[in-house]
Each structure stands twice: as structure tokens, then as C-alpha cells.
Structure 1
Amino acid sequence: MMQQDARSPLAHLGGALGFGKYMTNAMVLCRYSDGTGWEKPSLVPYGTLAFDPCALVLHYGQAIYEGMKAYRSPDASIALFRPDRNAARFRASARRMEMAEMPEGLFIEAVSTLVDAQRDWVPAGAESSLYLRPVMVADEAAFGVRRSTTYLFFIVATPVDALYRDGMAPFRLMVSEDFARAAPGGGGDAKTSGNYGRTLIALEAARRSGFNNVLWLDPVEREFIEEAGITNVFVRRGRDLLTPPLNGRILPGVMRETILQLARDWGLSAIEREISVTELLSGIDAGDVDEVFLSGTAVHVAPVGVIARRGREHRLAAAGEAQSLAKRLSQAISEIQRGLVADTRGWMRRVAAPSDCLVLSEP
């Protein structure tokens, strides 16, 4: 196991890192305005941001974000996992929200600048990483429902532990039939802040009932599964791996795309199709469903043990380690992310110091 450098700020924190418990001491800012376009990213001390009370984001919700991670390899180098996919999704989210689209190269430059400056904050633990949160908000001070003419882009970072780790109990999900996450044409495939705020009422109800999260159904028939909380869902039946299709309501997860590619490379039948919740639960009861698992940047790959609907719990038999596809996927992806095996697919982008390294300045 890699040891944390004693000079690292992480060496003095002690205990679990958690998720968002500690923030690094710097962030990146970048501004956009119509007519002049994007400024060069600036590295600044982590601190409070000031907004005019009339900033459009506060009234009309033009806000998008990403979630991604940087990893430390055994040779102490730092790399990002598939940042091009996050950059592309960030542009797609901006397009859906009628916001300024950040060039993918500029997005990756901004992320790399922060990671390079904060490389001492990248944990060396086998289940830890530096989580990065790029955000863009409409900061023009104005009233009226319209596109903003100015935007603030920023990135903050936090060293984190994995949200799901070996030895933890599988997830418990409660099917939500009273609320829907997204409607057709409603932007459920954009990583916009409003898509998450509206889910809290169902999430908190599930937690009060002893569940980890919500299994969302389609908003029309309330019959087909979509996401679980803010993660993508997979169902394995033998050598068939099923996941709901990208129908405009489901976020195109980077981990989801990675899992589908690996499964196909391994000779599995990876199928994107609608999955009836009735079909799923009856399959679990009959023992025909081998695994249900979740995927996402924060949760990685996590097994599901129970799905409850209308007061009844449907329990999945625990897959043995040799039979668990979730375990195999998690290990294979983690080994690539941490530089333990050759990156034959070009998924990792090593972070090198920018040629014109920015000077830390006041925001």
C-alpha cells in the first residue's frame, strides 16, 4: 500500500476523509461574458464567493456542475479518469440550460491547473482520491427569465474516501411512485442543480424508512426503472447485463459508459433497454436476477441488496466474490485509475505542470 507523504496536508488530518469534509486551500475561477468570451483560468485561495442578490442563478436556476476524480499512482504521479467525457458532458449540460459552452480544452486545462497545484492533497490510499467539482452559474445581476450574459465557472476540490467500500452492506433502495425525477424533455440528462434539489423530498422519506436511496421510475407509466438516487442502475442475468437506455431523462454517466465498454470487451451481452420494475422484482423473487448494482463517480460500483416497493422488500442473494460482476468491474476500473495495470484504452490523463503555471492570486 502506498504511504502518504508526511509533508502532505492529509498526513495531519487523521481519521476518515469522508466526502466533502475537508476542502483544499485553492480553487480555480474563470469568467465568461458575451462579446469577450472566456477568460484564462485563475488559481486563487479557497474562499467565499460573492453574488449580487439579483444574480440570475439565484432566481432562475441556471447552474450546472460536474463530478470527477484525480488518482495517485504508485510512482506518485497524478492522473484524471476520462476528463474528456466530463468536459463533453459539461458542454452538453450548458447547451441544454442555454448557458455559455466552455471549450473542452479549457475545461481540462482548468481542472489540471487545480490538481497540479493541489497534488499534495491527492490521497495515496487504495480507496481514496481527490474529488473535483467544476461548477458554472449565471452571475449577471438582472430580473427576467432569460439567458444570462455573464457566467462564473469555478472548481473546488476535496480529498475523499470511497462512498462504497469492501465490507459495507449492499445498498437498500425504495421504489418511489409518488415522485418523478425527470419528465420527457425536462432536462434529466443534464447535470443541472435543479435536477437534484427536487429529489430530496423522496430521498429523505426513503432514509427515514431505513433505506439508502430511491429507485426512480419513469414519470408517465411509473413502471420502468431509471436511476437510483443520482446513480445509474445495472441488472445482471447470467451473461446479460441490462441498463436503462439514455432516453433524455437519464444522466449519461462516465462510469456507466465505462462499464458498458468493459462488459462488451469481456464478451458479455451489454443491453440498453427499458426494464420494468415488475419484471425486475419478480425476477429477484424467482432467483433469476443475479445482481443489481449502481455506478457513479462518487459511489464507483456498488451492489444492491434490497429493493422495496409498496411495503414489501425484495432481497437479492449475495453473489460470491468469484461470481460478482460488480466486484470484478470495481476492481478492474480501480486498477486502471490507480495506475496498477496498463491503461490500454487511454482513459487516464496524467497531470503535468502547465507550461505557463498560474500564480496564486486573490479572487
Structure 2
Amino acid sequence: MSQDIGFIQREVLKEKPDPASLGFGKYFTDYMLVMDYDVENGWHAARITPYEPITLDPSAMVFHYGQAIFEGLKAYRTADGTIQMFRPEKNMKRLNDSCDRLCIPQIDEGFLLKAIKQLVLTEKDWVPNEAGTSLYVRPFIFSTEPYLGVRPAQQYKLMVILSPSGAYYGDQLSPVKIYVEEEYVRAVIGGVGHVKTAGNYAASLKAQEIAESKGYAQILWLDAKENKYVEEVGSMNIFFKINGEVVTPKLNGSILPGVTRDSVIQLLAYWGVPVREARISIEEVFEAYERGELEEVFGAGTAAVISPVGELNWNGRIITINDNQIGEISQRLYDEMTAIQLGKKEDPFNWTVKIAQVEV
């Protein structure tokens, strides 16, 4: 892999959006990172180019056989003007785990992180500094070889695009309503549920559409075999605080190993809060509610950071958690995580990676 990163200048820069209107995934910066792969050259031709449409052959294998993976991480601007990222090495490793599962050639994680840092530095003026905002970083890889036949492709493209973003759910800490899905399944053990491949999300859309029509923001998926054990929410890992202990579903091959999930577990252990990874059924959750022991439910993910859950609907049984208010642990986790990400508090875990010091 070449260690040079090319640069193609954009003729006219975009007008930046009003920070109050950012939302999530609506706007994209001036530049993107691109790399190509073929059998002869491996990963090569890394370059930062103007953000623009791409052209693919109609027979490009991604359209027909679905070799497409992605990641999601963020860059933050701190009060002193530092731009930093949160545990990006975990995302690079998970990207390669996804590559392995989908028979995509491995990426040099160190070089890709270096290239992403250079891209973010190029776009430093796009990193917002308003409360609750960040620059979302989306690396993705897809097969480009023009061929019809079921086998791993021999040509790929890696791209990284950037999007200045606000809160994922609007009012970030307002508890969301979640529908427990019983008809459709997200993933099976032995499948691709533990990696970030595009097909996982396509398979979730029908259930998500039904849930939204009933007034619910997200789906809580159950296991595909017995349809009883909790797995994850569509865009987050899930946590339950039951009688003083925080429990999250144990990784089993069909649950995504979230970076924020891992950070939550480490933070809770650091604070001395009992935390456990375990197989937990939806029946156990509702029984804990009936006993008055279900104290909090919250999701954890890169986009939302921490998202409290105020209502669960399972097969018509509706429960309201903590009077539909954010819980103490959820609030503390959100405050601590975002304070570390924004450089407002000491980072005892060395999670943050500084990219540059820029003028405030």
C-alpha cells in the first residue's frame, strides 16, 4: 500500500449549514477520502478528493451480491480548539473484522487512521462546536468489479465521507419509545449480525417501518432461534438497570460489539457500579418491571451516545420506565462520555486521540 495520500483541490467550497439545522446525516463536507483495491496492486491510490457522485458499472458486484461494509465514528472540537476523536482504533479493527467476514481484503488500520486524520484536518472548519454537535465520520468499502457470479470480488473501493451532525434523536436525552419485534429477526448466530454490513440494515427496514407507524422510534430485536432473548436496538446496544445492577446482552455472534457499549461497561466498572454481560430474556425484563426492580433502560451507540428508553411495547404489553424520565446512571454516563469526548474532563482510559490544535 502506498504511504502517500494525494490531494485534489476543489474549485469552489460549499456554504456551511446553519448549526441549528444540522440533524443527522443531512449535510456533507467539501472533501472525501478514496482508495482502490485490485489483485495486482492491493489497496492503493489513496487520495483526498472533492465530495462528488461516483460512477459504477451496472454489473458492479456490490449491486448483485452485497459486499458492502461501513463504520461510524466522530470528531469533536474542544473548548480550547483541539479537534479529537474517540477510540478510533476500535473502529479500524471492527472495519477489518467486517472485511474478514465478507471476504474483503484487509486494510492497514494504521494507515487508514492516518488518512482519516488528514481528511478531518483538511475539513477542520466543518467540525462544529455547538453543544451536542460533532463531525460524523463514515468509512465504507464496497465491491466494484464488473462481473456476474457468486464469489468474492477482486476489485473494491474504500471511501470516507464526513457529515457535521447534531443530535441523532432530536432532543438527545428525551426518553425514546421502543417496540419489541417478534415477527422479524435481525440476525442469526453464524451470520453477519456481529459486523457492520449494509444488508443487516436493509433487513431491518420493514420492522422499523411498522414500529414507526405505531409511534415507536426504534426496534428492540430478539434472538432469531427462540425469539425470547434480547439482542440489540436497531442503532444501539441496549442496557437494563435492574435492582442496582446494569445488565447488557452478552456478545454471541449476532450482536454488534459496539465501541460505546464497551466504553459504558468500562466506565461502570471504573465507578464501582455492578455491571454484567449476560443472556437476558424479554420476559425477565418485564418480570423485573412487575417487581418494581427495572430502574432504567438505555441504549448506547456512536450516533446517540446514550439514549434513555421511556417505554417498551412487547406483544401489546406496555411498560413505562422511570416515569418516562432519564435515569441517574443514564445521565451520568452521557455527561461523563461527552465530557471526555469534548475534552472537558480527564480521560483516565486514554480513549481520545488528538488530531490538531486549531484557532478557536
Q: Secondary structure at the match of 1:291?
A: strand
Give the structure 1 partner of residue 132 of structure 2.
127
Aligned to 1:351: 355
Q: Is 1:54–1:141's contact at 8 Å kept on the other side of the alignment? A: yes
| 2:192 equivalent to 1:187 | yes
Q: Match for 1:139 among 129, 144, 148?
A: 144
Structure-2 separation of matches of 1:319 and 1:261: 26
CA contact (8 A) 1:291 1:319 kept: no
Pairwise CA distance, 1:352: 3.8
* Equivalence for 1:330: 334
Find the residue that maps to 2:338 and give its secondary structure: helix
Contact persistence 2:34–2:48 (CA under 8 A)? yes
Q: Report the equivalent of 1:281.
A: 286
Residue 203 of structure 1, CA deviation:
0.3
Q: What are the within-5 Å matches in structure 2 for residues 257-276 of structure 1?
A: 257-276=262-281
Distance 1:11 1:204 in 2: 32
Aligned to 1:172: 177
Partner of 2:102: 97
* Alignment partner of 1:54 out of 50, 56, 59: 59
| Alpha-carbon distance in structure 1 between the residues aligned to 2:88 and 2:172 | 29
Evaluate the alpha carbon distance shift between residue 67 and residue 146 of structure 1 in structure 2; reply closer, same or farther with a 3 A threshold.
same
1:357 aligned residue: none
Residue 285 of structure 1 and its aligned partner are, at CA, apart by: 2.9
| Deviation of 1:319 (Å) | 7.9
- Listed as ranges, the matches of 1:247-266 within 5 Å are 247-266=252-271
> Deviation at 1:164?
4.0
Determine the structure 1 residue equivalent to 2:239. 234
Say whether the 8 Å CA contact 1:170–1:302 is kept in structure 2.
Answer: yes
Question: Residues 185 and 222 of structure 2 are in contact (CA less than 8 Å); yes or no, is this contact kept in structure 1?
Answer: yes
1:43 aligns with 2:19: no
* 1:299 maps to which of 277, 301, 304: 304
Give unmatched runs, 5+ long, in structure 2. 1-12
Moved more, 142-151 or 168-177: 168-177
Aligned pair partner of 1:85 in 74, 79, 90: 90
Contact 1:290-1:319 within 8 A present in 2 as well: no
Following the alignment from structure 1 to structure 2, what is the Cα–Cα distance between the partners of residues 265 and 305? Answer: 26
**Alpha carbons 1:164, 1:300 under 8 Å: kept:** no
What's the offset of the Cα at 1:160? 0.5
* Cα distance, 1:11 vs structure 2: 6.4
Q: What fraction of aligned residue pairs are identical, expressed as a percent?
A: 37
Is the CA contact 2:135–2:165 (under 8 Å) kept in the aligned structure 1? yes
CA distance in 2 between counterparts of 1:64 and 1:32 reads 15
Whichever residue aligns with residue 58 of structure 2, its letter is P
Q: Provide the TM-score with structure 1 as the length reference.
A: 0.91
Counterpart of 2:20 in 1: which secondary structure? coil
CA displacement, residues 212-250 of structure 1 (integer Å, 9 cap, x when unaligned): 111100001111010111210000124311000110000
Choose from 164, 169, 188 the match for 1:159. 164
Confirm or deny: 8 A CA contact 2:33 2:161 kept in the other structure. yes
Q: Residues 143 and 292 (structure 1 numbering): CA distance in 2 closer, same or farther, change over 3 Å?
A: same
SS at match of 2:267: helix
Return the alpha-carbon distance in structure 1 between the equivalents of residues 169 and 337 of structure 2. Answer: 14
Q: Following TM superposition, by how much is the alpha carbon of 1:71 offset from its aligned partner in structure 2, in angstroms?
A: 0.1
Q: Give the aligned residue type for 2:333.
A: L
Counterpart CA distance in 2 for 1:146 and 1:253 is 29
Aligned residues of 1:294 and 1:304 also touching (Cα < 8 A): yes
Query: What is the CA–CA distance in structure 2 between the aligned matches of 1:174 and 1:34, rounded to whole Å?
Result: 45
C-alpha contact (below 8 Å) 2:31/2:48 kept by paired residues: yes
Question: For 2:64 and 2:324, how far apart are their aligned partners in 1?
Answer: 48
Q: Quick check: 221-230 or 159-168, which moved more?
A: 159-168
Which of 314, 338, 347 is residue 309 of structure 1 equivalent to?
A: 314
* Bigger mean CA deviation after superposition, 312-321 or 77-86: 312-321
TM-score for both structures, normalised by structure 2 = 0.92
- Inter-partner Cα distance in structure 1 for 2:53 and 2:311: 41
Which has the larger displacement, 13-22 or 88-97? 13-22
- In the alignment, the residues of structure 2 paired with residue 182 and residue 286 of structure 1 have an alpha-carbon distance, to the nearest angstrom, of 31
Report whether the alignment pairs 1:203 with 2:211. no
Q: 1:249 to 1:291 in 2, by over 3 A?
A: same
What stretches of structure 1 of length at least 5 have no aligned partner? 1-7, 354-363
Give structure 1 regions of 4+ aligned residues with deviation exceeding 6 angstroms.
Answer: 8-11
Q: Is the 8 A contact 2:181 2:207 kept in 1?
A: yes
Partners of 1:28 and 1:41 within 8 A in 2: yes
TM-superposed deviation, 1:74: 0.8
